[in-house]
Amino acid sequence: MKTKIKKSVDGLCTAYNFDYTKAVRGKYNKRILEKGANAVMLEADASKTFSDSAAVNAALNDSIKRGVQDAKNKKGRFVA
């Protein structure tokens, strides 16, 4: 038999209570910058084209692969 989960006044489970006074702004910023993560701003029309970051990455990877394939066809000249 399942145990009942107690809910707080706002309707959330008590396990989800979070004390925002202990939150740290930019806690992971340094780690992200050290590992070389890139953030890119898309134009409004481009952001309407892609549903999420996975779709953007897939399109970019396809473009890169086509560029590499073209480069092989043109004797080492990379064309993206």
DSSP bridge pairs for 13: 7
**Model pTM score:** 0.42
Ordered by start, the domain boundaries in the chain are 14-73
| Per-residue pLDDT tens over the stretch 31-79 | 877 887 777 788 888 888 988 888 988 998 998 888 766 656 665 555 5
Which residues, in sequence order, are CB contacts of 15 under 8 Å at separation 6+? 5
Which amino acid is residue 11, in one-letter code?
A: G
Which amino acid is residue 57, in one-letter code?
A: N
